[in-house]
Chains A and B, each alone.
Chain A
């Protein structure tokens, strides 16, 4: 039995009067690349934001790395945040800092490492995600969307997290960069033994990278498991989305 990294139990999310999730259950095992899929507006990104404590849920429970997120103590929460990395849809780099400083920020804040050590780690991460060393000194406004995503990924990886959250990592990238990003994610998972949770719409990317998917439809999980079994689901979304593959 694999270790459960994330477990979501009977999750409920209600915005004003709109019910987004109603009794949602899923679990992510160690070392998996886990995909959250579903029609737009079904609450994939909301679920991801709830997992990283950017948003509160109404009822139910989410456990991440063995800690329940409901009423979590701020010290525990802070500890958790150092153990995961998050890549936002548009990168969300700090616009006042250069790429290099963006990646180094957490290292500077959380560790006592020397400046030379930090710059070495940063250079390594920049290489790892496939950016050029000369890009390091550029500011977020000076680089392209794809580079922003790579820099965001490097920043998410800077503390060597066990867990990585990706919000639509390939959206807005050209097909070639998107495939590069996919192979990068696979490579990173193998090299760093990461567990990855991602929201994606990119069918190619889904088939290339994911080990396990959860399809959210109609406020619940319509299907959870590997991609081969996806055709067994009766969800309307599955039928249209995977039309060409099943």
Chain B
């Protein structure tokens, strides 16, 4: 601060604060310090603004606050100022300061209240998810009653978009997982000379558990997130509103085709994943354990029952339903800001992978208890 802007002088009992030049928001912090030191013993203060050329609103608020603090300390204060312009600025500050000070402070919530609010929010989120399922099933029921409403073109488009185009990545991932598992277990099996059991292990684990899970995880990351982002963006650009206003039910046009497409395509993807995973294992077995592909396939035929394959496939539509419906639900929950697209996309992937794993665990227990 330019020190010359504030001159403090004592005259008998009165303290003179004489400002001069341009008084702006860059000066007020420095002035505050000087004034705080000076007024300790003062009984009466005169704020002299007669030499000030210009005052900005921040400085005006500062002067106004200064007056307030004087009166709260029971110091007589007066402002000396002739310029109409400066007085106007001061009046402006006084006028809007009053109204702005009324802004409500955010209420602090107690810990217990916070817990209550959080759980209530979870409850509402659960309700809205149930609402989503309700509308979904109602739409589905209507479509089954009136099958010409089913949008086969969109379903075909979505099968291509979110499943067929994912074939490559799923094939590659499954192949690598097959290779890795075979390679790791080959090392252990060699110790016992139980080389041939690689077929049993790989066959059952791949067909029954790993292939469906890998497929589901890749699809959740790839297509589930795409659903959320697409539908979320459509919500932000009011495309969903436009559809509703034109009488096109988004559930019929956007939601059901995606869910049905994924449910149809998932078993196919799992099948590809099965083939590629076992193929990867077979290559490792022939290179590392000297089990020829012929021997591998013979043994495979002998020990891996068809039920494992079918159990794996059966899981597909269930996983697909979870992934697609969570992805779409999250998309519909997007609010009118871009940040919530990111938030909901992340949530959709995390939640759908979690749901898939929980569902897999339930299947695992159920099938084992059923003796399948």
Contact = CB atoms under 8 A, between A and B. Distances in A.
Interface of A: 49, 52-54, 77-78, 81-82, 84, 86, 88-90, 92-95, 105-106, 109-110, 155, 165
Contact of A81 (B233, B237, B239, B245): B245
B371 interface: no
A81 B242 contact: no
B242 A78 contact: no
Contacts, number: 46
B239 A82 contact: no
Contact of A86 (B233, B234, B242): B242
B238 A92 contact: yes
A52 B237 contact: no
A46 to B, nearest CB: 13
Interface size class of B (residues with CB under 8 A): 10 to 19
A92 B239 contact: yes
Contacts of B246: 81, 86, 105-106, 155
Nearest to B243: A94
Interface in B84-139: none
B241 A54 contact: yes
Nearest to B242: A92
A92 B244 contact: no
A54 to B, nearest CB: 5
Interface in B214-250: 233-234, 237-239, 241-248
Contacts of A165: 245
Contacts of B245: 52-54, 81, 84, 86, 165
Given A90-B238, A110-B247, 15 more contacts: A49-B241, A52-B245, A77-B247, A78-B247, A81-B246, A84-B245, A86-B242, A88-B238, A92-B239, A92-B242, A93-B242, A94-B239, A94-B243, A95-B239, A105-B248
B247 A88 contact: no
Contacts of A92: 237-239, 241-242
B238 A89 contact: yes
